[in-house]
Chains A and B, each alone.
Chain A
Amino acid sequence: MSNQITKLREQISAKKQAIADLDAAGLPDDGAMALWQMHVDRAAADYFKVVGNLATNTIAARQDSDIDFAVATGLVFGQSDKFVIGAIFRHLGPMITDDVKEQFVRIKGDHPPGVSDQKRAADRKRLARELLALERAEEAEIEADLLRGNQVERRADADPAAVLGVPDDVLETLK
């Protein structure tokens, strides 16, 4: 196997890794934290719903049994979790958010950098195009090597479009 094929295979492997990293990447920091805040707000909204029920019961109460925590919080229906989680986030939300941000910064280096959906789509398209170009170059080298009488095995995950020399405009019709 020629050095050129080895070199191309290293580049192909790196390109595939770049695509995998892109696929595994989350949103940019502000987008990710906006998603987080959405969940905090949703939890708080669940809490306020119960608080509203409790206030209604309290304002109309004339005797002890008119206010029922178990009913108002959903405990009797086995659904008090939302109230409990909501209460925690309503009152400790900013502190929990600070802790999450701190952890976020700490582990950020272990994860691929975040990208917006638009950039992800554009980058993916570019990387796929570059990968196909590398695979085509590899296939050309393999064919040349085989013609020289050398033994070369194709990678099991070789792109069939590159192996068969299918033109780009034909591949476009498959999308």
Chain B
Amino acid sequence: MDNPQWAQAAMEKFFRLAGETTGLIAASGGANDRVNDLLWRRREAEQQIVELDEFIGTTYGKNDNVIRQREEAERELQRIAAVLPSAIASRDVIRQKISAAGSVSFAAGSLLVKLGILNPGEVAR
């Protein structure tokens, strides 16, 4: 038996909602990568500062080159500190959107299953 018009429209809308959620999940990958990259660079810069401090503390004579490297690492830390909060914030916004959109599309799919319009397998969490 053919689905009535409302059921057809409902099904189309469900697949649109599910598609939007999938798109958001794909977008979240980039946001996660950006945050992870910044966190990794911060760890590297911190580690470098510790190592350079040890070197400066145990080496006599001129350390101009090492001091320059240390200053560069400090600047890298400051650059990361300036952009990390906004990177985390945009990642969290996408996560929040995924959570809301995912809940709506899952609830919509579950209702369609309850109404016998979709099979459970067609509604992925």
Where the two chains meet, the residues of A that have a C-beta atom closer than 8 Å to any C-beta of B are 153-158, 160-161, 163-167, 170, 174
Contact = CB atoms under 8 A, between A and B. Distances in A.
B41 interface: no
Interface string B31-66: 000000000000000000000000000000000000
Interface stretch (B69-77, B82-90, B104-112): B104-112
Nearest to B99: A156
B25 interface: no
10 contacts: A153-B100, A154-B101, A158-B107, A160-B108, A163-B17, A163-B104, A164-B108, A165-B6, A165-B9, A165-B10
Contacts of B100: 153-156
B114 A174 contact: yes
A164 B101 contact: no
Interface of B: 6, 9-10, 13-14, 17, 97, 99-101, 103-104, 107-108, 110-112, 114-115
Contacts of B103: 156-157
B104 A165 contact: no
Nearest to B103: A156
A153 B95 CA distance: 13
A147 to B, nearest CB: 13
Chain B interface main SS type: helix
Determine the main DSSP class of A at the interface with B.
Answer: loop
Contacts of A160: 104, 107-108, 110-111
A166 B5 CA distance: 10
Given A160-B110, A163-B107, 5 more contacts: A160-B111, A163-B108, A164-B10, A165-B13, A174-B114
A161 B111 contact: yes
Nearest to B112: A164
Nearest to A143: B13
B101 A166 contact: no
Contacts of B104: 154-156, 158, 160, 163
B120 to A, nearest CB: 15
Interface centre among B9, B104, B114, B115 (most CB of A within 10 A): B104
Contacts of A164: 9-10, 13-14, 108, 111-112
B107 A170 contact: no
A153 B111 contact: no
